Amino acid sequence: MNSPFHRPVLVNKVIELLITDKSGIYVDCTLGGGGHCRAILESLSPEGKVIAMDIDQEAIQYSSRLLKEYRGRITIRRENFRHIGELLHQEGISKVQGIFLDLGVSSHQLETPSRGFSYKSEGPLDMRMDREQEKRAFQVVNFYEEEKLKWIFQHYGEERFSGRIARAIVKEREKGPIDSTQKLVQIILPLIPGPGANKTLSRIFQAIRIEVNRELENLRACLEASMDVLDKGGRIAVIAYHSLEDRIVKSFFKDRSGRCVCPPGLPKCVCRREGDLKILTKKPVTPDEDERRTNPRSRSAKLRVAEKL
Ligand SMILES: C[S@@+](CC[C@H](N)C(=O)[O-])C[C@H]1O[C@@H](n2cnc3c(N)ncnc32)[C@H](O)[C@@H]1O
């Protein structure tokens, strides 16, 4: 499981909660280094199949090699998970028994300086998961208006110095393009009083990454589309690594679980909403002490699972 590409999180829990039919078809929407995917394949019977996708060509190449022993039981495609419906349609599949998403970036993406995801190393302002896409972090940092930058830092980074940082970026770029991770770091660092600079850097980089890759939009679209292809009794499992994603998953599950939407104060329910999901994790599943210690990246992980009714 200790792939140099990415170390998967909460693997046993994912298998325990996701697999209901060992000969079913499962979709791994975020193949990455293939750790979860391999665990899913190994827990299935020889009839069980996996359709796996990732938007990143490097993940596809790495995992295709890693999983070649499962040829015939796995289909790997480079695709955005928001297109899960179209992909399954192309494969001639109408319903699947499980859908899995392990959100965010892989360790490989984060630790490859030329991808520009990390504030810790020097690299171009890139941050694209899909390297065929036009928009990079460079465009966001150098061409977005100050107000829009501030909004992104506030909403996607939940950063309290958003205004100050947006203003400094706009002032600095008048002198010349901000074209590297470390140039951006050097603009932000003097603005942060006391300790906590790394947390701010991490939040600002996260915010830009979310904007470049339209991460929240893609997640919402994938959750919606998943409901059309998930079989009755099938399950959807999602691991989120920050509160923005986790909130989207939590409220999507709640909305689809038939929660009453009557205005407060009515003597009895009149909306009679019927849900099509049953929430299996009232509270999100988190890694135990041992996993948190041995895999620090797992510390913020929250797994939520729901079953299609
Ligand atoms: C945390 S990693 C997954 C790690 C994987 N579970 C493993 O065991 O190695 C997240 C992966 O999701 C991919 N990804 C992010 N957004 C995506 C999207 N919209 N469509 C498809 N893949 C996406 C990233 O490229 C990255 O490889």
Interval 256-305: pLDDT, tens: 998 777 888 888 888 877 889 999 999 999 999 999 999 999 999 999 99
3-class DSSP state for residue 41?
A: helix
Chain centroid to Cα 88, Å, comes to 20
pLDDT at 258: 85
Taking the centre of ligand 1 as the mean of its atom positions, its distance from the CA of residue 179, in whole angstroms, is: 26
Angle, vertex CA 262, rays to CA 256 and CA 264, nearest 5: 125
Other CB atoms within 10 A of residue 226 CB: 23
Residue nearest to atom 4 of ligand 1 (CA): 32
CA distances from 80 to 85, 139, 143, 220 (A): 11, 21, 26, 12
**Residues forming a β-bridge with 302:** 240
Question: How far apart are the CA of 51 and the centre of ligand 1, in A?
Answer: 14
pLDDT category at 3 given cuts 50, 70, 90 is confident
Rounded Cα distance, 232 and 106, in Å: 31
Res. 2 pLDDT band, cuts 50 70 90: low
Residues 137-152: pLDDT tens digits? 999 999 999 999 999 9
Q: How far is the CA of 158 from the centre of ligand 1 (A)?
A: 23
Pocket test for ligand 1, best of 5, 53, 129, 302 (most atoms within 8 A of CB): 129
Question: Hey, how many other C-beta atoms are within 10 angstroms of the C-beta on 56?
Answer: 21
Report which protein residue has its CA nearest ligand 1's atom 13. 30
Ligand 1: which residues within 6 Å by Cβ? 6, 8, 29-30, 32-36, 53-56, 59, 80-82, 102, 104-106, 129, 218
Q: How many CB atoms lie within 10 A of CB 65?
A: 9
Ligand 1 centroid, distance to 21 Cα (angstroms) = 24
State the pTM of this model: 0.95
How far does Cα 85 stand from its chain's mean position? Answer: 18
- Closest ligand 1 atom to residue 219 Cα is 19
The pairing of strands 302-308 and 277-279 is: antiparallel
Per-residue pLDDT tens digits for 217-248: 999 999 999 999 999 999 999 999 999 999 99
> 308 near 232, Cβ under 8 Å?
yes
Q: 56 CA to middle of ligand 1, Å?
A: 8
* Spacing, Cα 105 to ligand 1 middle (Å): 6
- Mean pLDDT, rounded, for 101-105: 96
Nearest-CA residue for ligand 1 atom 2 is 106
What residue ranges in the chain does DSSP mark as E strands? 25-28, 49-54, 74-78, 96-102, 230-240, 277-279, 302-308
pLDDT at 1 over 60: no
